[in-house]
């Protein structure tokens, strides 16, 4: 499996209305788009791990977009996690 360097734009939103935007640069394996189970696992293992800011109180949700990528097929993908 090949890898790509991606830049993530992460919107961390907390139940008290606080929204914090962060970015992360990471290397990820390029997933096979035909296997939906593998893709869901890939999102959790390689994207979700960059969400949050350490606030463990209350509910939160995270919107993540790949805003830069060395693999064109990953550029612009979006992900949603949380409540």
Q: Structure pTM? A: 0.86
Q: According to the model, what pLDDT value does residue 37 have? A: 74
Pairwise CA distance, residues 5 & 29, whole Å = 9
Q: 58's torsion region: left (phi>0), alpha (psi -120 to 50) or beta?
A: left
Residue 25 pLDDT: 97
CA distance 60 to 27: 25
**pLDDT tens by residue, 24-67:** 999 999 987 676 777 888 999 999 999 987 666 668 899 999 99
| Tens digits of residue pLDDT in 1-19 | 699 999 999 999 988 888 9
Q: Where are the domains of the chain?
A: 3-82
């Amino acid at each position: 499996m090949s890898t790509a360097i991606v830049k993530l734009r992460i919107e961390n939103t907390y139940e008290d209305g606080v929204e914090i935007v962060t970015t992360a640069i990471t290397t990820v394996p390029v997933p096979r788009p035909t296997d939906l189970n593998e893709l869901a696992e890939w999102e959790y293992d390689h994207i979700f791990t960059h969400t949050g800011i350490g606030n463990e109180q209350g509910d939160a949700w995270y919107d993540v977009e790949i805003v830069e990528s060395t693999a064109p097929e990953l550029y612009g993908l979006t992900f949603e996690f949380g409540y």
